[in-house]
Amino acid sequence: MTAEEFDVLICGSGSAGLCAAIWLARYGIRFRMLEARDGPLRIGQADGVQCRTVEIFESLGIADALLKESYHVMEIAFWSACSKESEGESGQAGIQRDYLGPDTEPGLSHQPHVILNQARVNEIMMDEVVRLSGNQNNVEYGRRVRHVIVVKEAEEHVQVSLKLPYVKVTAEDKDGKSRVYRAQYVLACDGAHSTVRKSLGFQMQGESSDTNWGVMDVFVNTDFPDIRKKAIIKSQHGSIILIPREGDQLVRFYVELPPSTTQPSDLEPLKQRVSQVFQPYHMQIVDTAWWSTYSIGQRLADRFHDSMRVFLTGDACHTHSPKAGQGMNVSLQDGYNIGWKLGRVLTGRAPESLLETYQWGPEDHDHAS
């Protein structure tokens, strides 16, 4: 193979791409990841690691660090608006706890639901990719994919060692310089705004509008009794998901913004909404470690592959509300699913028809791995 040819090209180095890469490295498959960012994810984004995902980490032999460093979610609380006025806040409705109980159904799994920054989750997987492959350079950073096409007839004046059909990918660096890659298979792990999906002409179907969210990792001074429990708060002022973070003090707030609200350009509107939602409890944000805003809708791609050569994974083919905590977890399971299947096909341990099992519909979206 030439330097630009690979068995598998992974567009994106997030949860789906990294989990697939672990399997490819295990099978000794020649692969490369193209990542638009200048380097690994450092902070923010997803944090909830569901029981099934912890089981996957266990099956890959990398659960120890995850379990040691994470916050273990044992209980969940639900709060709603109460009818009586808050003390000292005339005319302002307060909140009341409706439920406090186990976070997961008893007997669901032998592993817990845990919380750990996605940057660290990705790092754990990347360390395993490097260990298995013996290669520190599995990712090319600063490479933004611009065009993807399945090549079904021999290209003129181009010699390749890949069998038809194969995939041709054009990527661009930060200086605008283009480079062409060819691979037997391509995985689209490049997120909700996937260039690969758009290049193939696939459409996302589902909710017609996005929901706006603010998210912040903060240190707080509060008398709210469930500050170190996962909590869903729905008041007359809006809704918030509270997630205790690893360590003893950091917490995350997912703040749902009204549909007509434009995404705030500074933190103050989010702080004000947090204060309002938690009334009558005192909720002072002392320091902010990180914050962001984003828009998301629940949608599903109309197709999940092109010619069994390009496969969509993660947010590239399904997007979720943060209320369900599915995004990173389902993405990682997609990578696990397609990764082991490609490994077996490319090493001759399974027929190519195995790849046909990597497709599903809206009715069975949470597919088995």
| Given 52, 143, 197, 245, the catalytic residue | 245
**CA–CA dist 337, 15 (Å, integer):** 12
CB 184 within 8 A of CB 251: no
| Given 27, 254, 336, 358, the catalytic residue | 254
Active site residue 254: yes
Active site residue 315: no
Please tell me whether residue 194 adopts helix, strand or coil conformation: coil
CB 63 within 8 A of CB 57: yes
**CA–CA dist 44, 324 (Å, integer):** 18
Please tell me whether residue 311 adopts helix, strand or coil conformation: strand
| Given 7, 27, 32, 47, the catalytic residue | 47
Listed as own residue / partner, the contacts of 319-322 with beta carbons closer than 8 Å and 24 or more positions apart are 319/192, 319/204, 319/206, 320/296, 321/211, 321/296, 322/213, 322/215, 322/241, 322/254, 322/296
Angle at which helices 327-346 and 15-26 pack, to 10 degrees?
30
| Given 185, 197, 322, 336, the catalytic residue | 322
Active site residue 294: no
Active site residue 47: yes
**CA–CA dist 299, 192 (Å, integer):** 10
The residues annotated with a catalytic role in the active site are 47, 245, 254, 322
